[in-house]
Amino acid sequence: MKKERGIFIIFVVLCVLVSIGNPNFLGAANLKNTTRLIGIFGIFSIGSGIVIIGRGIDLAVGSVFSLVGVILSMLLVTHHVAWPLAILAVIALSLLIGWFQGTLIAKYKIQAFIVTLCGLLFYRGIARFISNDVTMGFGDGEGFAGVQYLAAGNLLGVPVPFLLMILIAVIAGIFLHRSVYGRYIFAIGRNEEAAFFSGINTNRMVLLTYVISGLLTGISGILLAFYTNAIAPSSHGNFYELYGIAAAVLGGCSLKGGEGSIAGIIIGAAMLQVIQNLVNLLGIPSSLNFAVMGIVILIGVLADKFFMGRQTTTK
Amino acid sequence: MPLTHIPNYHMKLSAKIILLAALLNFGCKRNDKPTIAFIAGAATDFWTLAEKGTNQAAKELPGYNVIFKYTTDGATEEQKRVVDDLLVNGVSGIAIAPLDPINQKPFIDATAEQVPVVITDSDIPGSKRLCYLGTSNIQAGKAAGQLIKTALPKGGKVMLFVGKADAQNAKERITGLEEELKDSGITIVGIKTDNIDRVRAKANVNDVLVSNPEVGCFVGLWSYNGPAILNAVKESGKLASVKIVCFDEEQETLQGVQKGEIVGTVVQQPYEFGYQSVKLLAKYISGDKKSAPGEVIIPATIINHDNVEGFIAKMKAIRAK
């Protein structure tokens, strides 16, 4: 819990500064908008983070979003499949993708970077091919308004994606921090060989991290598709894997594996969304969007280093 | 033992390569028909409509092969590679939508020395192109300005949304808007960019609804900005107080115009870009070298509540082809 304290303080300071700059930041409308995006981005960031803790990487996330969105639209709009079935089919597909990548990485020992990079190229290509490169949409959503509610709706004034993220974060937190399987993943991230020789079925656990990432990517993919209500196969979710990776690292995960927490990942994901929100609210030109994101992340990581450094010297 | 295996393996490999090459050769249907290629921008609805146009032209021109190629946004080197490959294969004519009209002039000139080149979408004045075929984006911007004037008869504030503000067509549309809105009591308060990311496009609209409540009209400069604005405004429950003007013909945009949620949209006719440039090139290649005009302007059209039904029917017919 020490590692994410620094980033949490930075996050709070950032929020306070923005709300001083523009009081509308804490207005109901803006909180709804921002927490909705935090929910959508937070869910798949948890998956990316768990993979990173197990010393892996998942670069295919953004392309899976495109594929999931295209297939979902085809099932619902073109083939009029009942929405619970369509959701199940899409979730099954993303699980299958996770299992496929995980098997190549865990069982056949191919580098995660290469496997998921090929995935990034492959799924995007398939999405573009099956849609003929035409933007797929959901129109008015006749017949599946129920599932649109998941992405666009509110429950007691709170956006549904945010509630979903909280639920998933609690389950993932128990799994990662309270169960023996979580311990295994941390152990594998630190030293896979040592974990193997201490009797952990490392192949199965590594595979599991990619399956989890696949599942959470699928859920986010559905939410994202209904958020935009239209999927341009060639650009939908481009580079979004980097949001997941950045959220995880910002939240205290180490790319060398074996470190990180669910709480940290959530704070990291929230931070990335608040940064983009503040660019607009404070009237900073859109062209500076990425520059602001880069500098705030760097300050966050530096501050984290500073806090961590002080803790070790005062001990 | 391994030593004897190695040459054997190589023979097998080379045999495989020869077999593969033979298969590939059969795979490509080689014939002597002249080839016309259309090189478009990124794979968006806009260019898929142009592709429909080239398909129609191909049907009418059985004596020609017609190829349609998409390229990634901003990747001018990809356009160069595609053109180089086409030239190697002996293409007879090229229609291209330059991604960076200012800096691609030498490349277009070099290509035009070998085959006739039609430039579409964004012109490169002074280049050695055979012809420019497209819409004037400045004129399209002016048309959108007229729509904004009808939306805000008493004047007011406007916010622009676009993927990249430095893209040529975005710059020209903005220029047209500014010219039309001069001295009209309507001011453009800013431009929000989203890097062709629909999620950001929608989030930008949500943010502006919060940060600039005084803005009375939202203008989407690129095709997907229309639906992004419509969805965000609808979900915030502000359809009654905010006017929307957009460009291009995404389905949701047209539905919005139909329902009266969007004031109007300015459309170019990408189908005509594809259809007419292939026809023009075919005519030129077939020997009619004198009739090529220097410029074909396909007018931008305003689609509003009055003419949207007819336009939707026309689009359906094109898409069904």
By residue count, chain B amounts to 321
Q: Does B252 touch chain A (CB under 8 A)?
A: yes
Give residue A210's domain range.
Answer: 32-304
Classify residue B319: in a domain, yes or no.
no
> B149 and B126, same structural domain?
no
> B185 and B171, same structural domain?
yes
Look at B227 and A283 and tell me if their CB atoms are within 8 Å.
no
Whether the pLDDT of residue A314 is over 70: the answer is no
CATH of the domain at A191: 1.10.3470
Nearest CB to A280; choose among B197, B204, B224: B204
Mean pLDDT by 10-residue block, N- to C-terminus, for chain B (321 residues)?
46 60 52 86 82 92 90 75 84 88 83 90 84 88 93 92 85 92 90 89 92 92 92 90 91 91 92 92 85 83 92 86 69
> B145 and B263, same structural domain?
yes
Whether the pLDDT of residue A310 is over 80: the answer is no
Looking at chain A, the whole-number percentage of residues with pLDDT higher than 90 is 50
Surface of B (34-93) touching A: CB under 8 A? 42-45, 48, 70, 72-73
Classify residue A288: in a domain, yes or no.
yes
Look at B203 and A277 and tell me if their CB atoms are within 8 Å.
yes
Q: What would the pLDDT profile of A52-95 be if each residue is shown by its tens digit?
A: 999 999 999 999 999 999 999 999 888 888 888 999 999 999 99
Chain B residue nearest residue A223, CA to CA: B199
Look at A30 and B231 and tell me if their CB atoms are within 8 Å.
no
Classify residue B6: in a domain, yes or no.
no
> B131 and B274, same structural domain?
yes
> B279 and B159, same structural domain?
no
Classify residue B313: in a domain, yes or no.
no
Domain count, chain A: 1
Residue among B166, A271, A5, B150 nearest B158 (CA): B150
Look at B235 and A152 and tell me if their CB atoms are within 8 Å.
yes
Give A-chain residues touching B193 at CB under 8 angstroms.
286-287, 289
Classify residue A219: in a domain, yes or no.
yes
> B226 and B146, same structural domain?
yes
Read off the pLDDT of each residue in A35-49 and give the average, rounded to a whole number.
94
Distance from the Cα of residue A48 to its chain's centroid = 6
Q: What would the pLDDT profile of A13-41 be if each residue is shown by its tens digit?
A: 889 988 888 888 888 888 888 899 999 99
Residue among B46, B52, B49 nearest B73 (CA): B46
- For tokens 């005519």, name the residue: B283
Classify residue B169: in a domain, yes or no.
yes
Classify residue A6: in a domain, yes or no.
no
Q: What is the pLDDT, as a whole number, of residue B4? A: 43
Chain A residue nearest residue B229, CA to CA: A228
The minimum CA-CA distance between A295 and chain B, rounded to whole Å, is 19
Q: Does A313 touch chain B (CB under 8 A)?
A: no
> B127 and B56, same structural domain?
yes
CB of B281 closer than 8 Å to CB of B234: no
Look at B203 and A135 and tell me if their CB atoms are within 8 Å.
no
Q: Does B28 touch chain A (CB under 8 A)?
A: no
> B149 and B101, same structural domain?
no
> B111 and B143, same structural domain?
no
> B259 and B181, same structural domain?
yes
Read off the pLDDT of each residue in A132-154 and give the average, rounded to a whole number.
76
Classify residue A21: in a domain, yes or no.
no
Secondary structure of residue B39 in the 3-state scheme? strand
CA count, 13 A, side-chain hemisphere, B113: 5
Give B-chain residues touching A29 at CB under 8 angstroms.
206, 209-210, 236
Strand B295-297 relative to strand B131-134: parallel, antiparallel, unpaired?
Answer: parallel
Q: What is the pLDDT, as a whole number, of residue A311? A: 47
Classify residue B28: in a domain, yes or no.
no
Q: What is the pLDDT, as a whole number, of residue B48? A: 86
Pull the structure tokens for residue A195: 């974990």
Domain count, chain B: 2
CB atoms closer than 10 angstroms to residue B76: 15
Classify residue B165: in a domain, yes or no.
yes
pTM, two decimals, is 0.77
Asked whether this complex has an ipTM greater than 0.85, the answer is no
Nearest CB to B192; choose among A33, A229, A286: A286
List Cβ neighbours of A51 (8 Å cut-off, separation of 6 or more): A57, A58, A112, A209, A210, A212, A213
Nearest CB to A234; choose among B43, B208, B228: B43
> B166 and B126, same structural domain?
no
Classify residue B142: in a domain, yes or no.
yes
Indicate the average pLDDT of chain A. 87
Give residue B159's domain range.
Answer: 137-267
CB of B140 closer than 8 Å to CB of B301: no
Give B-chain residues touching A289 at CB under 8 angstroms.
193, 195
CATH of the domain at B233: 3.40.50.2300
Q: Does A78 touch chain B (CB under 8 A)?
A: no
Nearest CB to A287; choose among B73, B193, B201: B193
User: Counting runs of H as helices and runs of E as strands, what totals does chain B give?
Assistant: 11, 12
Tally C-beta pairs within 8 A across A and B: 99
Q: What would the pLDDT profile of A187-234 be if each residue is shown by its tens digit?
A: 999 988 898 999 888 999 999 999 999 999 999 999 998 888 888 888
Q: Does A229 touch chain B (CB under 8 A)?
A: yes
